[in-house]
Amino acid sequence: MAENDSQRQNTEPSGKKKGKMKLILIPVVLILLGGVVVGGAKMGFLPIPGLAPKKGTSQKEKQAKAKESEPSVGVIYSMKPFIVNLADESGGRYLKVKFELELTSEDLVSEIEKRMAQLTDSVIMLLSSRSYKDLASYEGKDRMRNEIMLRLNSFLTTGSIEKIYFTEFVMQ
């Protein structure tokens, strides 16, 4: 009987270890199985509603979506190039700049043409008040673009300028 007691003592700890292993092993297996199921559904191998991959779209649907996602470009109006002396101490530097205006409507073209003298004067005065150092960096050019847009929009009543695109920008 003593022998049976010692055998029971030896087997009890291993029985407890098996119980603990089952408690750890079962959740791990369930997690792995869940991952396989979700992965299979996402890949399209298992038909689970809501997890199935999106079906391919036709060429027409792709083109329609591409047109919707493309930013629309308004009416473009090309300004004549501006050549001005920069406000540097030496006075030997100049700027040649050409830009295009993106307008909110076609009606704005006629107003721009009527006010061309005012718009040109405003741009020349703004550009000639800047130095080479003011315009040499990207930030300087971007700031200039915004200032031109604000000045020109202050003259316009039938619409506005949405963006300005520099097409030439030469400083010497």
Q: pLDDT tens for residues 153-172?
A: 999 999 999 999 999 999 98
pLDDT digits (tens, 9 = 90+) for 84-133: 999 987 778 999 999 999 999 999 999 999 999 999 999 999 999 999 99
CB atoms < 10 A from the CB of 90, how many?
A: 7
pLDDT average, residue stretch 5-22: 61
60 and 123, same domain (yes or no): no
Same domain (yes/no): 96, 33: no
- Name residues whose C-beta falls within 8 Å of residue 48's C-beta, 6 or more positions apart in sequence: 37, 41
Query: What is the average pLDDT across 133-137?
Result: 92
- Containing domain of residue 64, as a range? 2-69
Query: Nearest 5°: phi and psi at 143?
Result: -65, -40
Confidence check: pLDDT of 12 > 80: no
Count of domains forming the chain: 2
Are 32 and 117 in a shared domain?
A: no
Token pair, residue 159, equals: 């619409």
Within this chain, do residues 81 and 131 fall inside the same structural domain, yes or no?
yes
Burial level of 99, CB count in 10 A (0-12/13-18/19+)?
Answer: buried
pLDDT at residue number 77: 95
For residues 35 and 79, membership in a common domain is answered with no
134 and 50 co-located in one domain = no
Domain limit, last residue, from 14, 42, 69? 69
The verdict on 162 and 103 lying in the same domain is yes
